[in-house]
Structure formats: C-alpha cells, structure tokens
Amino acid sequence: MHVGRSIPKITFGKITQDGEKICMPVDVHVNHALKDGFHVGKFVERFQELLKAP
C-alpha cells in the first residue's frame, strides 16, 4: 500500500446561498481498508454541528 493512500482527503467546494439556505459541498475520500461509512458519517455529523454553532 502506498503511504498517500492512507491519508483521508477532504475537499471543500464553493459556498452558495439560496435565500436563507447556505450550502457548501464537501467531498470525503478515504481508503475503505482503513475507514468505513460509519466513520465518514460521524465526521459529517460533527462537522455540521460545528457549522451550526454560533
């Protein structure tokens, strides 16, 4: 296995606003031998909580 393949890659897209709704695409690329959907889901949940905090 290459060393670089074990590092998760998180990419953020352009922030857009539609009325009251603000969106920002986020891409999470992980090696499934090291992480699974559960871990990515926990990351997304926590990230959303932090974004909603004042």
Which residues are marked as active site? 32
Contact 20, 8 (CB under 8 A): no
Contact 35, 44 (CB under 8 A): no
Would you state the structure tokens that stand for residue 50, as one six-digit string? 């932090």
